[in-house]
Amino acid sequence: MSDYKKIKEEAIQALREAKSVERAEELRVVYLGRKGVITTALRALAEKSIEEKRSDGPELNAFRKELEDRIKERKKELSFKGVANFDLTMPGKKLKRGSLHPLSIVEKEIVAIFKSMNFSVAEGPEAESEYYNFDALNIPENHPAREMWDTFWLESSQKISDNNFKSSNKKVEKFLMRTHTSPVQIRFMKENKPPFQIVVPGRVFRYEATDMSHEINFHQIEGLSIGRSINLANLKFIIEEFFNRFFGKKLEFRFRPSYFPFVEPGVEVDIKMPGGEKWLEVMGAGMVHKNVLKAVKIDEREWQGFAFGMGVERLAMLKYKIPDIRMFYAGDLRFIRQF
């Protein structure tokens, strides 16, 4: 048996050293040919005792099979001519590459500008609790302001055990698809100590009829900056800096008093393109309401700051002159590939 082993090692070694298909074929004849080493040994086995047949037979057969495979493999390797044989003048195949969706591109641009102004990025869940989406943001039950956000309610609800919800006087917590990114303000402030400033990109949902400027889901970027003396002037600077850079030109700005329950005072920001006629509404903002700070146990006598929220689709539409918000979601590649 050790004889076979030695023969096998020699054969494999010789095959490895073979430098041509012809040499590999020679080796095949030497070992597996009609008068080959293995063939002869197998034939000789016929004369041997039953015990020897039983012990040597399988081993020899396995050896033959293995060598056959190795020779075939080696021949294949040796016949491969490699790149030298490659016709460089042949026309290439065009690779099909995917690209980012325009909304992803715009979101990245927006986030990059805020990052350069020292904002961090935070995110939160799309399925949200009623508490985070409304109550903690100073939008009490039955307050008419809740009607500003048409809501997709989820069927599940849960008994309230969490301390956070106690103040809301409710026994059962309901869930919904978040109607804005503002609940992430709450989530972030509960987990982090000020000072901080963050932006929150994310998808939001509204239960409403669709048209050129309304979709049942769209994207927002929320902003939040909390410090000891963060004020409206800081908000104004950051916002103007952001929009000028996003559109790549010097815009005109208008800050109009407005109402959002989670800020006081609240403003709406309008921009006007150079040479443009119309004021365009692009953002809601304001100074974070003291009730919001209280809800997350940040001392409102020590800390203050601003918040803002804007729609990504709206900005993308203005920047790239896209006429209909539904184009973002129609999945038409002729649209997508233009970006």
Which residues make up the interface to ligand DAH (CB under 6 A)? 180, 182, 222, 260, 263, 284-286, 307-309
Alpha-carbon distance 209 to 226, whole Å? 36
Q: Is 111 a catalytic residue?
A: no
Q: Which of 11, 74, 106, 220 is catalytic?
A: 220
143 labelled catalytic = no
Q: Can you name the residues that pair with 256 across neighbouring β-strands?
A: 268
C-beta closer to ligand DAH: residue 75 or 180: 180
Closest distance of CB 287 from ligand DAH, Å: 8
Using the minimum distance from each CB to ligand DAH, give the nearer residue, 18 or 285.
285
Q: How far is the CB of 172 from ligand DAH (least distance, A)?
A: 25
Query: What's the rounded Cα separation, in Å, for the pair 298 and 282?
Result: 29
Residue closer to ligand DAH, measured from CB, 63 or 308? 308
What helix, strand, coil percent values describe the chain, rounded to 5? 45, 20, 35
Q: What is the DSSP letter of 148?
A: G
SS3 257: strand
Of 263, 267, 269, 288, the catalytic one is: 263
263 in active site:
yes
Of residues 67 and 283, the one with the C-beta less far from ligand DAH: 283
Shortest distance in whole angstroms from residue 267 CB to ligand DAH: 8
Q: Nearer to ligand DAH by C-beta: 285 or 298?
A: 285
Provide the minimum distance between the beta carbon of 266 and ligand DAH in the complex, in angstroms, as a whole number.
Answer: 6
Q: Distance between CA 281 and CA 286 in Å, rounded?
A: 15
* Active-site residue flag, 316: no
Measured CA to CA, the distance from residue 17 to residue 232 in angstroms comes to 80
Cβ of residue 152: shortest distance to ligand DAH, in angstroms? 14
Q: What angle do CA 326, 251, 104 make, to 5 degrees?
A: 35
Close Cβ partners of 182 (under 8 Å, ≥ 6 residues apart): 133, 137, 222, 262, 307, 309
Give me the active site residues, please: 149, 180, 206, 220, 263, 307
